């Protein structure tokens, strides 16, 4: 019984942790914070594997910014989805 209660509480805690909480741990966070107003948007990590990480920043239900980080090359692109403008395109 105690193990199942602990498992349920642990699951609830992990679900409550959002992408915004872990965003600051990512290597590209500094550039993202300088490029866009991160606090104004809800980030959602779409992809995070050995090769790359894709994060969408939502305003309501609409993605406003997209970041693509290629891990091996340490290359980051930040794109405004409003006008398809490239805000950042360089290596870290």
Q: What is the pLDDT of residues 29-82, one digit of tens each?
A: 999 999 999 999 999 999 999 999 999 999 999 999 999 999 999 999 999 998
Tokens of 71: 């891990």
pTM of the predicted model as reported, rounded to 2 decimal places: 0.77
Which residues fall within 8 angstroms of residue 20, CB to CB, at 6 or more apart? 38, 42, 43
In which region does residue 84 sit, left (phi positive, over 0), alpha (psi from -120 to 50) or beta (all else)?
A: left
């Amino acid at each position: 019984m105690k193990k199942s209660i602990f498992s349920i509480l642990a699951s609830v805690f992990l679900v409550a942790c959002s992408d915004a909480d872990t965003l600051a741990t990512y290597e590209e966070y500094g550039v993202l914070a300088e490029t866009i107003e991160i606090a104004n948007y809800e980030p959602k990590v779409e992809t995070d594997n050995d090769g790359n990480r894709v994060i969408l920043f939502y305003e309501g239900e609409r993605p406003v910014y997209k970041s693509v980080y290629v891990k091996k090359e340490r290359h980051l692109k930040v794109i405004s989805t409003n006008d398809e403008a490239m805000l950042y395109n360089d290596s870290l």
